Amino acid sequence: MDLWLLFLIHLGSCLVGLGTGSNNEEEEEEEKHEDTHPPGHKSHHWNYQDIHQWDSDYPHCGGPEQSPINVVTGAATFDSSLGPILLSGYNVPPEQTLTLENNGHTVVLDLPDSLLIIGGLSQTYRAAQLHFHWGSQSDPGSEHTVNGQRFPGEMHVVHYCAEYNSVSEAATHPGGLAVLAVFIQEGEEENPTFQQLLPFLQNITEEGERTEIPGFDIRGLLPQRLDRYYRYNGSLTTPPCYQTVNWTLFNQTVFLSQEQMELLEDTVHADHDHILQNNFRAPQSLNGRKVLSSFSSKVGGRRLPGAAPNPAAASPAPDDSAQNHSSQGTGESVDHSMSTGDMLAIIFGVLFCVTAIAFFVYVRRTRSRSKRLGSENKANVIYKAATAEDNLA
Ligand SMILES: *[C@@H]1O[C@H](CO)[C@@H](O)[C@H](O)[C@H]1NC(C)=O
Ligand SMILES: *[C@@H]1O[C@H](CO)[C@@H](O)[C@H](O)[C@H]1NC(C)=O
Ligand SMILES: *[C@@H]1O[C@H](CO)[C@@H](O)[C@H](O)[C@H]1NC(C)=O
Ligand SMILES: *[C@@H]1O[C@H](CO)[C@@H](O)[C@H](O)[C@H]1NC(C)=O
Ligand SMILES: *[C@@H]1O[C@H](CO)[C@@H](O)[C@H](O)[C@H]1NC(C)=O
């Protein structure tokens, strides 16, 4: 073998990749193949220990409209035009399996793009994935805080504007992403919908592992009331921190049993066998941004605070006749961030793949045998992009 020739091919293909933005189909396919192989050789160039250095590698992280934030409820501006969040297609049948992955930063459930937000935002948004942020048994780990209070956990359901072809494309355009954020608290009872998801964490304890789980009613992971929320313009909460997220933070919270909470906090590992905990970013400066609220806490007397440790989930919710989870959501704001870290991972992955592909092509040619790469379809592209997002958020 002529090693120098190989080296030059690698170098050349890297340069070509940089110059063209790596649009080569083969490269993308190779990248996907890489990505579908389990244990994580995906190297992410950021982590929660280096959080104060994110902006040196990812300049957007130092921008003026970053997420998360602390919501001061008394300072939020009531906006009567913010209608209930309306969802469609959220009830996924059990025959349709969903991929759950430990990406080393969080656990990510890929969502079909048939799940939609059809109300509460000015455009239609397609679901990409959902993921979680948590602390540890001794400390809460939500990203957003409310009046300075941090909640035990936070779920982000990431969507992208339907006018774009993929979440990765949308992620670089203002308003391209909409994230629904749900605060997670601990309660007395087991949450039956979360029970369709959490036990599978035991199958993906190592970074890069993934498993297929039966579809279920994703709507059930959200609070009953989707009409009460805060809205603001922000960013992905992980590198590359693109400031393209239209955030919706629900005022009502969801509750997990103590056992379920511990499953979330203590099961999955990041690299080097560390338990993955405290995967949240601290609140960022508002820098003059406005936080809107879809509801007025003054009119009509004081409502049960969503954060009340009470069985909020059990209290009848007038606006949410929600037993019909299938294609019915209420609530209006959908905004939030996508994972910018994923985007970076994709970029690096593509560059890596280019060199890898060049290598494989060379080897194949020298063996005068061409192997056909499996054809990847669009769904896979979206799937991959979603995976990348998870890394970010
Ligand atoms: C977020 O959505 C609201 C509609 O609720 C819209 O008015 C606003 O312009 C959106 N923000 C961005 C950055 O697109
Ligand atoms: C998950 O792990 C359990 C044991 O921990 C095993 O019984 C089950 O078959 C696994 N499920 C999948 C989908 O791998
Ligand atoms: C978010 O940004 C959009 C576009 O710049 C703007 O129209 C909208 O008013 C902003 N929303 C808030 C809550 O500031
Ligand atoms: C929900 O809204 C009430 C009333 O403004 C507020 O007291 C409470 O802190 C809010 N909770 C969350 C989680 O937003
Ligand atoms: C739910 O939907 C079904 C059929 O789509 C309907 O028969 C039922 O009345 C609905 N239930 C509620 C609570 O809206």
Query: Do residues 342 and 392 lie in contact, with contact meaning Cβ atoms separated by under 8 Å?
Result: yes
Q: Is 97 in the pocket of ligand 2 (CB under 6 A)?
A: no
- The CATH class given to the 40-342 domain equals alpha beta
pTM reported for the whole predicted model? 0.70
Residue 130's pLDDT is: 98
Rounded Cα gap, residues 182 and 151, in angstroms:
10
Catalytically active residues are: 105
**Residue 168: φ, ψ to 5°:** -70, -35
Q: Is 328 in the pocket of ligand 2 (CB under 6 A)?
A: no
Residue 56 CA to ligand 2 center (angstroms) comes to: 41
Residue 158 CA to ligand 1 center (angstroms) comes to: 15
Residue 273's pLDDT is: 78
- In the chain, what are the domain boundaries? 40-342
Pocket test of ligand 5: the residue of 87, 217, 324, 330 to mutate, having most ligand atoms within 8 Å of its CB, is 324
Residue 343's pLDDT is: 57
CA distances from 15 to 8, 12, 57, 345 (A): 11, 5, 20, 18
Q: Which residues of the chain have pLDDT under 70?
A: 1-44, 298-354, 357, 359-361, 363-393
Rounded Cα gap, residues 285 and 186, in angstroms:
28
Residue 175 CA to ligand 1 center (angstroms) comes to: 6
Residue of the CA atom closest to atom 9 of ligand 2: 203
Residue 45's pLDDT is: 78
Q: Is 211 in the pocket of ligand 2 (CB under 6 A)?
A: yes
Residue 351's pLDDT is: 67
Residue 271's pLDDT is: 80
